[in-house]
């Protein structure tokens, strides 16, 4: 990796200053330490505070549909995105998927892929990962969405400005709508995953050495599942895969990402809440862990009341603990936060102004601190 000169690798800690920021799906004592053999873990008290990283520049991009409608209203595979249709999901499903290739150089030492969460209403939604606003899709037609602005404070634009992946030699894409719907059947989801995996693999070049995936909510589940497929591909063994998930949500009733009906309670949940995450044995989900680094920031608020839709939590040992702790297994890191689901997805708009600096520190900047340490 190369790092842009003039940008320090370690930047001062957040001061206690409330930021005036503009810009997304939706009291118990901490437990004592548990003896979980085989996987080291970090307690909440030892969690280091994230660093503050400078904002990048806002970018205006065109977000293209992977399957578009021609002048006669028929569906066509968009040039450069043929892998999605070949994976077999229906054209109507694929038509909703929109991707902006922010930078696509011919030489690609690194591939960076960012995705927002599930779009759950007729309008778009804002994302602290991609930087899109709540009305990003206002200009969409049957082919593309013009003039989509990516906020400079987003994970995508902060990372782009830091230059940790080499400028001019990094393929950067932003998925404004992945249409990875929580309620889709397992077969449809697998076809969508396959489309993303095959498209990303098509971006790999002989010189590619790193792939970084990041997503929130359903996007967090998507990037975890993409990482499973990439790490299972022995042709990519020389490439390091990094994954950032922010309250990633997988459907436990389908066993998605190995989740099942045991809830691990959030040890820092606000008093009177039932925040927690569906347990999954991630070691069994990722049997090949060389050159693999995963990080889940998890709150575990139920996304919609009485739906059972909530984030996932890894665990160590034979059975999940009733209450979680922070984890660091070398290849997998997990930290618990008190924030609501939508606050984790976009800490720039949803927490109160006074809470935003801490929320940003524990979500977006926590992911950058983790990645900074690995690079």
Q: Is 58 left (phi over 0), alpha (psi -120 to 50) or beta?
A: beta
The predicted structure's pLDDT at residue 125: 79
Of the given ranges (119-123, 158-162, 348-352), which has the lowest mean pLDDT?
119-123
Strands 312-314 and 276-280: parallel
pLDDT tens, 169-196? 999 999 999 999 999 999 999 999 999 9
Q: 49 falls in which pLDDT band (50, 70, 90)?
A: low
Number of helices (H) and strands (E), helices first, in the chain?
9, 15
Burial class (CB in 10 A: 0-12, 13-18, 19+), 355: middle
Q: What is the mean pLDDT of residues 227-231?
A: 98
State pTM to two decimals.
Answer: 0.88
The predicted structure's pLDDT at residue 41: 40
Q: 120 falls in which pLDDT band (50, 70, 90)?
A: confident
pLDDT tens, 57-102? 999 999 999 999 999 999 999 999 999 999 999 999 999 999 999 9
Q: What is the mean pLDDT of residues 328-356?
A: 96
Of the given ranges (45-54, 247-256, 349-358), which has the lowest mean pLDDT?
45-54
Total Cβ atoms within 10 A of residue 293: 21
Total Cβ atoms within 10 A of residue 58: 13
- Is 12's pLDDT higher than 50? no
Report H helices in the chain: 82-86, 91-94, 155-162, 186-203, 218-232, 282-285, 341-345, 356-362, 364-374
- Is 34's pLDDT higher than 50? no
Q: Are 278 and 311 in contact (CB under 8 A)?
A: yes
The predicted structure's pLDDT at residue 279: 98
Q: E strands of 22-97, at which residues?
A: 59-65, 67-69, 75-77
Q: DSSP letters along 109-129, please?
A: SEEEEEE-----SSS----TT
Q: Are 49 and 368 in contact (CB under 8 A)?
A: no
């Amino acid at each position: 990796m190369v790092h842009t000169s003039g940008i320090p690798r370690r930047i001062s800690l957040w001061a206690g200053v409330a930021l005036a920021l503009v810009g997304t799906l939706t009291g118990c004592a901490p437990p004592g330490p548990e003896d979980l053999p085989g996987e080291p873990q970090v307690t909440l008290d030892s969690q280091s505070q994230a660093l503050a990283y400078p904002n990048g520049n806002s970018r205006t991009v065109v977000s293209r549909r992977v399957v578009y409608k021609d002048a006669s209203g028929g569906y066509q595979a968009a040039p450069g995105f043929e892998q999605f249709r070949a994976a077999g999901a229906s054209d109507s499903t694929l038509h909703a998927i929109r991707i902006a290739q922010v930078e696509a150089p011919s030489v690609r030492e690194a591939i960076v892929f960012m995705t927002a969460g599930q779009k759950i209403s007729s309008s778009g939604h804002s994302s602290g990962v991609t930087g899109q606003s709540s009305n990003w899709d206002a200009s969409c037609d049957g082919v593309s969405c013009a003039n989509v602005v990516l906020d400079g404070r987003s994970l995508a634009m902060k990372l782009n400005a830091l230059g940790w992946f080499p400028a001019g030699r990094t393929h950067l894409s932003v998925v404004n709508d992945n249409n990875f719907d929580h309620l889709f059947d397992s077969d449809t989801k697998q076809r969508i995953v396959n489309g993303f995996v095959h498209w990303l693999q098509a971006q790999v070049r002989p010189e590619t050495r790193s792939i970084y995936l990041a997503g929130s909510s359903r996007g967090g589940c998507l990037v975890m599942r993409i990482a499973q497929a990439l790490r299972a591909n022995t042709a990519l063994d020389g490439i390091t895969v990094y994954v950032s998930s922010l309250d990633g949500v997988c459907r436990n009733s389908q066993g998605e990402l190995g989740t099942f009906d045991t809830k691990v309670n959030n040890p820092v949940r606000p008093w009177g809440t039932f925040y927690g995450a569906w347990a999954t044995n991630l070691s069994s989900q990722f049997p090949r862990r060389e050159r693999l680094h995963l990080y889940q920031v998890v709150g575990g608020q139920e996304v919609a009341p009485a739906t059972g839709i909530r984030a996932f939590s890894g665990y160590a040992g034979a059975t999940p603990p009733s209450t979680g702790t922070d984890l660091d297994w070398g290849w997998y890191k997990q930290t618990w936060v008190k924030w609501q689901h939508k606050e984790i997805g976009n800490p720039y708009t949803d927490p109160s102004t006074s809470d935003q600096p801490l929320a940003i520190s524990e979500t977006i900047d926590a992911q950058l601190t983790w990645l900074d340490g690995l690079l």
